[in-house]
Structures are given as C-alpha cells and as structure tokens.
Amino acid sequence: MSAPKKLFIKTYGCQMNVYDSERMAETMGGAGYVETQNVNDADMILLNTCHIREKAAEKVYSELGRFRDLKDARPDLKIGVAGCVAQAEGEEIMRRQPLVDLVVGPQSYHRLPEMEAKLATGQKALDTDFPEEDKFEKLKARPKAKRGPTAFLTVQEGCDKFCAFCVVPYTRGSEVSRPADRILDEARDLVERGVREITLLGQNVNAYHGAGEGGDWSLARLIWALSDVDGLERIRFTTSHPNDMSDDLIEAHGSCAKLMPYLHLPVQSGSDRILKRMNRKHTAESYLKVIERIRAARPDILLSGDFIVGFPEETDADFEDTLRLIEAVGYGTAYSFKYSTRPGTPAANRPQIDVDVADDRLRRLQALLTRQQQQIQQSMVGREVSVLFEKPGRQPGQMVGKSEYLHAVHVVAPDVRPGDIARVRITESSTNSLAGALIAD
C-alpha cells in the first residue's frame, strides 16, 4: 500500500475561506491526500485566496515566488491557486507564474480531484466556472474524525448588493442559499464529532432563504431548527447586511437561548452621502434604528462592525459623521480599513483621497474604536459569563475559550477539557482577552 500524498493549504481572508479550505482538504482526502502543516513535505500546495484587500493578487504572486526552489527541487510538486483571486485572475495566474499547475474558483473546488487527475497527464487545470450543479451536493461526505468544539458552516454564498467597493458579486456570484435539510444534516454530523458551537456563514448570511419544509426558510427559522439539535449549545452567524435584519431574526436574538448575544453588522460609513456613493442602500439613521430594535430585543448584545475610511470623495464632514455614528453605537469590536481600489468595481475609477489624509482618518477612527473596546472589556470585570473552552493556554493548567460575547477568556482550570462549558467570573481585562476564575457549582 502506497503512502498517502500530502496536501498543504494556506488560507487567506474570511471565515468562509476557512470553511472552504476544510472542504477542499476533505475532498482531496478522497483522492489519497492527507493534510500537512509543513509546506516542505507537501506533494500539493493550495493557496486559498481572498480578493478583498489591497493588492491581493500581487501578494499571491509574491507568495508563489517563494515556492520556486521547492518546485525546482521537486518538479512533481503540484501548486494550485484557489478562491477569489483565482476567480478574478484566472488563466493570467498561470501566465504570470508558470510554476502554477492548477487554478480553481470558489464555486468549483468540488472538482479538485478531477483537476488533480488531469495534472497527472502532464496538463494544467483551470476551472473558474459558476457551475449549475450544487458544489455542496457534489462534495464527498465529511469524514467522521473528531472535531474541536467550534465549527464554521456555510449556509449562503454570493451577493446581490453590488456595493461600489466590493468584488464579491464578481468572484462569488449571486446570492444562493443551501437547502435547510442539508444544513441541518451537516450540523448534526458536526455535533456527533464533538462540535458544540456552530457559526453560520454567508457573504450576506441574513439574506438566507434556503428551501425547506413549507417553502423557503429565513435565517431565523433555520436558527430555531438548529436550536433543536441535541448537543449543539451555541449558534452564531456572520456576516450580515443591515437591510436584511428581519423582524423574526431580531426576535430570535431576544428569544432563542442558543443564539449568542453577539452581532457583526457592518455599516461602512456614518455619512449618508458616502453610503449612497457606496450603493449601500441604507442610511445612518436606518442603521441606528436597526441597532435600537436589536438592543430592545437583547439589551446585553455586543455589537461589531466594519468601517472603510478614505472612500473616494469622502470629506472631513463625512468622516466626522462616521465618528458620530461610532460614538452613538458603542462597538465591542470592529474592523476598519483604508479604502483600496478593487479593479472592476464602480469606485475604482473615482477620484481618490490623499493617502496621508486617509491614513490620519484611519488612525483617529481606530483610536476611538479601541477606546470603546477597552471600555466594554473593562465593564466585564466582576461579571459572570459562560465560557466554551477550546484549548489549553500558555500557562500550566490554563484553558482558553470564548464567552457568549465572543471575548477570549483564559482561566486556570486543570480539570477543564476542550468542549466543556462553565460559568466564569471575570477578574481582569487585558488588550485582547479577559481573565477569570471558575465559579464553583
């Protein structure tokens, strides 16, 4: 019996890419591959790429250049590029970097085994189609190996919003929702293998409208069905659009005990003028009203957001509007970025903001967000939280997990094991985590 071939995957970008990488590894397992964390041992290298950030393609080409010596030493080493850069660049990747053997888009990776077989004939393989078949149906059944206590589960892909700065509609395609029964089956399978918390993923996850019993289901209905899965203790979802925060989803935040009190709800800007230029189709006021309704349903919810500064034509007054919105909301955490052009998007050809101005705005915005995060974390000291422990910490006897608010919490608890959920009293707040002590039963 021949030794299994080894697959090294490097994942860039969002949680959906993490999920996709897992499924790629599982798919290639059926073709005789096992995963390795050592690139030097690999028989195949896959870069699962993201196209959201600035110069994403150039960073991929730079990474590929580092594999030249490996390829020279082992000409049979297979190198592939997957994900959104693969979708956007296509055959250009092979032209610019001839050591690449395989390019596959995010909707076609279920075809990886067939593509790998093509490589064995000495040909290169390219697939950036948006196939009619459901890739999730074509993927092999997930192996029954034991899993950690948390997992991602993609329920929706693509985007129909066409924000002026975003490439997702072009690289991931239009919005598609997976059927509810298949999601529930996958969730039950994950729970059987040790998962206690599932995060539902989608480019616009709260636009979910998958087919289910009685017609299309909303995300809220899916969450309620998942809450009936024995052994599944926690449910989260990301990333949401403000315009898709439906009444039943807001109500679920107040009523579903397994839905965690954490919500990532990107706004991008606090200026109505810039929001219109971004094609966001909501206003600062409508966003704040959604926040008000969510907090009325779940007063202790921790909010997260996304912000872009230096968007084309953003004035000082526009930026100040964003700062005012941040002050009004009070974010527990947030992600903020300086605008970068994405080729092919409407905003790419508009007059750009001076880089020094954009840098200064980003610095000021991040300072405000950091203050809010620190204030909220400090307010946790003395409170009791529920922690799902995931792994040992750096200190002897220490365990690390996540609270219901997604704060990292470390506790000295030698008898606790990954997957345990316990009540913890927070004793200290540091930059990126909280410390606590177990509360005796």
CATH number at residue 275: 3.80.30.20
- Residue spans of alpha helices (H) in 139-192: 168-171, 180-192
- Tell whether 110 and 237 lie within a shared domain: no
Using DSSP, state whether 414 is helix, strand or coil: coil
**Domain tally, the chain:** 3
Q: Considering the domain boundaries, does residue 141 fall inside one?
A: no
Last residue of a domain, one of 347, 379, 411: 379
256 labeled binding residue: no
Return the pLDDT at 363. Answer: 98
Give the model's pLDDT for residue 250: 98
Task: Give the chain's largest Cα–Cα span.
Answer: 69
* Residues 397 and 278 placed together within one structural domain of the fold: no
Integer CA distances (angstroms), 401 to 25, 190, 331, 385, in order: 26, 19, 21, 11
DSSP letters of 92-141?
HHHHH-TT--EEE-TT-GGGHHHHHHHHTTT--EEE----SS-HHHHSPP
Tell me: do 172 and 27 sit in the same domain. Answer: no
Sheet holding 150-154, edge to edge: 150-154, 197-201, 234-238
Residue 417 and residue 301 share a domain: no
Which token pair is 281?
A: 């189709």
Q: Does residue 373 sit within a domain?
A: yes
Mean pLDDT by 10 residues, the chain (441 residues): 85 85 89 92 92 73 90 93 87 91 89 90 87 66 77 93 90 91 96 97 96 97 98 97 97 98 98 98 98 98 98 97 98 94 88 95 98 97 98 93 98 95 97 93 72
Does the residue 210 lie in any domain? yes
> What is the span of the domain harbouring residue 83?
5-127
Residue with tokens 């509360």: 439
Classify residue 40: in a domain, yes or no. yes
Query: Considering the entire predicted model, what is its pTM?
Result: 0.85
- 390: which 2 tokens? 């995931």
Same domain, 389 and 290: no
- Assign residue 413 the CATH number of its domain: 2.40.50.140
Task: Give residue 223's pLDDT.
Answer: 98
**Do 107 and 185 have their domain in common?**
no
- Asked whether residue 372 is domain-assigned, the answer is yes
Domain boundary among 361, 379, 397: 379
Q: How far is CA 332 from CA 18, 201, 369, 371, 440, in A?
A: 24, 20, 8, 10, 28
What confidence score (pLDDT) does residue 333 get? 95
Query: Buried (b) or exposed (e) across 134-160, using 16+ Cβ within 10 A?
Result: ebbeebeebeeeebebbbbbbbbbbbe
User: CA-CA distance, 177 to 175, in Å (whole number)?
Assistant: 7
Q: How far apart are CA 409 and CA 370, in angstroms?
A: 18
- Pair (306, 350) in one structural domain: yes
Whether the Cβ atoms of residue 414 and residue 420 lie closer than 8 Å to each other: no
| 83 alpha-carbon distance from chain centroid | 13
Is the distance from CB of 329 to CB of 288 less than 8 angstroms? Answer: yes
Residues 291 and 336 in one domain: yes
Same domain for 237 and 340, yes or no, is yes
3-state SS track over 196-226: CEEEEECCCHHHCCCEECCEECCHHHHHHHH
Last residue of a domain, one of 379, 405, 420: 379
Length of the chain: 441
Can you give the pLDDT at residue 141? 63
Could you write out the DSSP letters of every residue in 306-354?
EEEES-TT--HHHHHHHHHHHHHH--SEEEEEE----TTSGGGGSPPPP
Is the same domain home to 310 and 409? no
Question: Is the bond preceding residue 238 a cis peptide, omega within 30 degrees?
Answer: no
- 14 assigned to a ligand binding site: yes
Q: Clarify whether residues 390 and 301 are in a common domain.
A: no
Q: Is residue 134 part of a domain?
A: no
Is residue 166 marked as binding? yes
Q: How many helices (H) and strands (E) does the chain have?
A: 15, 21
Nearest to 240 by CA among 120, 174, 156, 361: 156
Reference 424, options 396, 383, 379; nearest CA is 383
- Identify the H or E element spanning 260: none
* 3-state SS, residue 297: helix
CB 214 within 8 A of CB 241: no
Query: Which pLDDT belongs to residue 276?
Result: 98
CA dist 215 to 54, 59, 180, Å?
A: 41, 44, 10
The answer to whether residue 334 is domain-embedded is yes
Domain harbouring 32, CATH code: 3.40.50.12160
Q: Count the neighbouring beta carbons within 10 Å of the beta carbon of residue 367.
A: 9
Pair 360, 417 in one domain: no
Please identify which residue in the block is written with the tokens 């606790």: 416
Is residue 119 assigned to a domain?
yes
